[in-house]
Each structure stands twice: as structure tokens, then as C-alpha cells.
Amino acid sequence: MNFRLEFSTEAKNILTNLEEIDPQKYKKVLKTLGLISTNLRHHSLHTHKYNSLSGPNNEEVFEAYVENKTPGAFRVFWYYGPTQGIITIIAITPHP
């Protein structure tokens, strides 16, 4: 199943800034977003539930890897919804 992606204001802003300040990282994030929309089970995403966050209506939040084994590796945080067939990206951020 393919999903349509929607973005929180924060995630949109991060993506826009990333395109300007780090085009290489931006391309990696776009690849990850493409996989999230088409193949959530892709091995490189390492998708898993993220227990420290929840969506605005208490949705389960998931984490997907943009990079792995890299200092400050980026992650994408998302949840299913607000309706069927949509995934909302809530954050795109370096891993602490």
C-alpha cells in the first residue's frame, strides 16, 4: 500500500532548511520519505515504535532511519493518519 505523506509545520521547515544548508543530507531524507510512502518494511528504515512521543490525538509514533552508524544520524518521526492512507511526518531530526 502506498501512503500519501503530510508534514507538520516543523517538519516542513526542517526539510526546507536542510535543502539549503546540506543538499546531500536532504537527498538522503527524500529517499527515506520515498521509502516510507511506498515500502515501510524496507530493511534500511529500521522502522520501530517510538515510545517517548505520541501524535496529537495520542497516535503511536514511529521512527525511521535516514542514516545508520553515523554521528548525528538523522531520523524521521511519523504516525498513521489523520485518515486512512496518510502518514504524517512530525519531525526530521538528528539522533542525539
Residue range of the domain that includes 38: 4-94
pTM for the full predicted model: 0.93
Q: In this predicted model, what pLDDT tens digit does every residue of 40-60 receive, in sequence order?
A: 999 999 999 999 989 999 999
**CATH for 48:** 3.30.2310.20
Q: What's the pLDDT at 75?
A: 96
pLDDT-derived band at 72 (thresholds 50, 70, 90) equals: confident
Domain tally, the chain: 1
Task: Determine the Cα–Cα distance for residues 41 and 36; give it in Å rounded to an integer.
Answer: 8
| Mean pLDDT of the 3-21 span | 96
